[in-house]
Amino acid sequence: MTQSQNSSTAPTGPRAAPPVASAPDRGPAGPDARILEAAMRRALDLAAQGPAHGPNPRVGCVLLDAAGRTVAEGFHRGAGTPHAEAAALAAARAGGVDPRGTTAVVTLEPCAHHGRTGPCADALIEAGVAAVHVAVEDPNPVATGGAGRLRAAGIPVATGLLAAAGEELLRPWLRAVRTGRPYVTLKLATSLDGRVAAADGTSRWITGAAARAHAHAVRAQVDAIAVGTGTVAVDDPALTARTVDGSLFEHQPLRVVVGHRTVPDGARLRGPGGPLLHLATHDLDAALRELGGREVRHLLVEGGPALATALLAADAVDELHAYVAPVLLGAGSPAVNDLGVTTIGEAARFTTHDVTRLGDDMLLVARRTDPAGARPGTAGRLGGHTEEEI
Q: Would you please indicate which residues are annotated as catalytic (active-site) residues?
A: 85
- Residue 5's contacts (CB-CB under 8 Å, 6 or more residues apart) are 22, 23, 24, 25, 160
Nearest to 109 by CA among 145, 80, 73: 145
DSSP string, 269-306: GGSSSS-EEEE--SBHHHHHHHHHHTT--EEEE---HH
Give dist(CA 66, CA 128) in Å, integer: 13
Nearest to 84 by CA among 70, 54, 104, 101: 104
Give dist(CA 135, CA 238) in Å, integer: 39
Q: Residue 4 corresponds to which amino acid?
A: S
User: What crossing angle do the helices spanning 120-127 and 84-94 adopt, rounded to 10°?
Assistant: 30
Give dist(CA 115, CA 93) in Å, integer: 23
Q: Checking DSSP bridges between strand 224-228 and strand 254-258, what pairing results, if any?
A: parallel
- Residues paired with 70 in a beta bridge: 64
Give dist(CA 285, CA 377) in Å, integer: 8
Q: Are residues 86 and 116 in contact, defined by beta-carbon separation less than 8 angstroms?
A: no
